Structure 1
């Protein structure tokens, strides 16, 4: 079988080689997080994802070596495949920066300011997107779209008002459970995620809709309003599970497990899907084999006071004096206070001048 040709593509002056058929977004992620565009709807583990949120728009300044003409419009990097010799601008393009700012403004038009009470706060991709690419204020003066809170069973809560219609949860139900009971109803500004005929989402693996949601639209009822993620300590753990890999992240405060989630990579995507039993039912530390602290990016608020692998300043005092304290200078010969044969360590409490009163009296 012939080897697949490699195409050279340059993104923000960083050149990488990728196989034919690779999208610009995938190539940018290979080049590094510094040049990778953000993505709110694309998910590498879900077939057919991408092309909905438009946050990954980039400028193609050179189509290829054969046809160097630039593409006239900005393109969605998650849906556009690379060509050999293609040159792409992400953060180095003023058009991209301005367009992404506009996309963020559209996403936030109907999104409520729920961050102080939202369980997703601290790990919300929309928070990160608005902080890095959004405006400081809003120009929207009309009434926002609102929905009633909707329960999707005894484990999952839906806040449709926060939803950005990325379709990730629908694809999880389609591709993981094989029988979805929710989807997108209506069209345009009336479009909403909902379940059919008030059915609950109770299929195995359906809990993964919580992990793939980039905002706080789908939350875990077993964790709801119990704690903030930056107060919790994420730990890698595993168990022998007959249904899934059993590899999870525990979110502890002390010995108490507040929630269980799938492990996520640097792009915020699930590494291994986990079952409902691991996610919702195993809430004791004794249920798991703890592997160690989860490595969290230092740019995340979750990493506060949880850095691992930190290099602390080296203590040199032990090398200088050894394990036992030593006296480097004998000052008894010149001191008018200390007695040479008096052991200060045997004095109860701090040494005081009265401890040498006897010596002064003898001199008189």
Structure 2
């Protein structure tokens, strides 16, 4: 077998050597710690995931050794592969921090701030980002988009008002079940998760669909309000 080609990349001043084709996000994850960009729509086991929520934006201040020009705009680290000699800024870039703060504000435009009564509280990526980057109050003055809670299966309840349209639940159903019956309907700010013709999600992997949701949009009806994550112990 041919040897894997390794490339060197510098992220927030920390060098790391990774396999060619690795994304900036996964290169940062090899380093670990605070320099890892947040990512709510990317899931490493799901093909095609990423590029939706934009929370993982970073600044590429040097493209590569061959072409050292910086990239003109912030890039999604979950979809951008590293180049040999690339230099990346995440938490060391005020531009990135300001952009991420704006993205969090946008994600919270319609999202209810009901963390104390949400089943996802304590393990919610958006809750973490809200605490880190969120402002104390919103500038949004218009009516928020709201949905009624609906059951989309005997085990799944959908609270679309909390959904950030990360597509992770759709990718799970596409890639590990025989027949996906839910997806994204409509376009733009009218987009929503729903089942087709009010079918129910009824398969052996419905729990996986719930599990990949990074917020509290999909919850397990058999576990709702039974316990808090910080009271549970991993097995």
TM-score range, shorter chain: over 0.9
Residue of structure 2 in register with 1:210 after alignment: 210
How many residues get paired?
235
Q: Is the 8 A contact 2:7 2:85 kept in 1?
A: yes
Query: Which has the bigger relative contact order, CA under 8 A and spacing at least 6?
Result: 2
Query: Aligned partners of 1:54 and 1:233: how far apart in 2?
Result: 31
| Structure 1 residue 19: Cα displacement | 0.7
Instruction: Give the TM-score normalised by the residue count of structure 2.
Output: 0.98
Q: Which residue of 2 aligns with 1:233?
A: 232
Offset of residue 153 of structure 1: 1.3
Q: Do the aligned residues in 2 keep the contact of 1:147 with 1:160 (CA within 8 Å)?
A: yes
Alignment of 1:253-292 (within 5 A): none
The alignment's C-alpha RMSD in Å is 0.9
Distance 2:189 2:3 in 1: 47
Quote the offset at 1:224 in angstroms.
Answer: 1.0
Instruction: Indicate whether 1:8 and 2:5 are aligned.
Output: no
Could you tell me which runs of 5 or more consecutive residues in structure 1 were left unpaired when the two chains were aligned: 237-364
Q: Which residue of 1 aligns with 2:35?
A: 35
Give the Cα–Cα distance (whole angstroms) in 2 for the partners of residues 82 and 229 of structure 1. 36
Instruction: Measure, in 2, the Cα distance between the counterparts of 1:32 and 1:123.
Output: 19
**Equivalent-residue separation in structure 2 for 1:13 and 1:204 (angstroms):** 45
The 3-state SS of whatever aligns with 1:42 is coil
Q: What are the Cα deviations for residues 229-254 of structure 1, in whole angstroms up to 9, with x where unaligned?
A: 22x23131xxxxxxxxxxxxxxxxxx
Deviation at 1:209, TM superposition (A): 1.3
- Give the drift of 1:31: 1.1
Please report the TM-score for the alignment, with normalisation by the length of structure 1.
0.63
C-alpha displacement at 1:174, in angstroms? 0.5
Contact 2:59 2:96 (8 Å CA) reproduced: yes
Partner residue, 1:167: 167
Please, which runs of 5 or more residues in structure 2 have no aligned partner? none
Runs of 4+ with >3 A deviation: none
Q: Deviations along 1:235-279, whole A, 9 cap, x unmatched? A: 31xxxxxxxxxxxxxxxxxxxxxxxxxxxxxxxxxxxxxxxxxxx
